[in-house]
């Protein structure tokens, strides 16, 4: 797990895009930071936990199962 320090105006989906490369992973960020779940637009300096994505999310699509394990 790593952390991300927000800049003024950051929002969940944009942070997910910055740290994971895709906004579809914002749920992982939200789950890892339940104390900040009510924040919609962040101020500067908020430190968020950034969990590693599960292996099932990082495997390349259309790869044979023996290559994804």
pLDDT at 55: 84
4, two tokens: 């991300």
pLDDT at 60: 53
CA 37 to chain centre: 13
pLDDT at 17: 97
Concatenate the DSSP letters of all residues of 3-52 into one string. Answer: EEE--TT--HHHHHHHHHS-GGGHHHHHHH-GGGTT-SS--TT-EEEEPP
**pLDDT tens track, the chain, 69 positions:** 899 999 999 999 999 999 999 999 999 999 999 999 999 999 999 999 999 998 887 655 555 555 554
pLDDT at 56: 80
> Do 40 and 11 touch, CB atoms closer than 8 A?
yes
Question: pTM (2 decimals)?
Answer: 0.79
Q: Which domains does the chain have, with CATH numbers?
A: 2-52 (3.10.350)
């Amino acid at each position: 797990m790593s952390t991300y320090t927000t800049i003024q105006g950051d929002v969940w989906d944009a942070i997910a895009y910055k740290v994971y490369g895709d906004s579809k992973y914002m749920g992982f960020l939200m789950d890892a930071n339940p104390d900040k779940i009510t924040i919609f637009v962040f101020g500067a300096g908020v430190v968020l936990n950034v969990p590693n994505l599960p292996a099932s999310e990082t495997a390349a699509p259309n790869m044979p199962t023996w290559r994804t394990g």
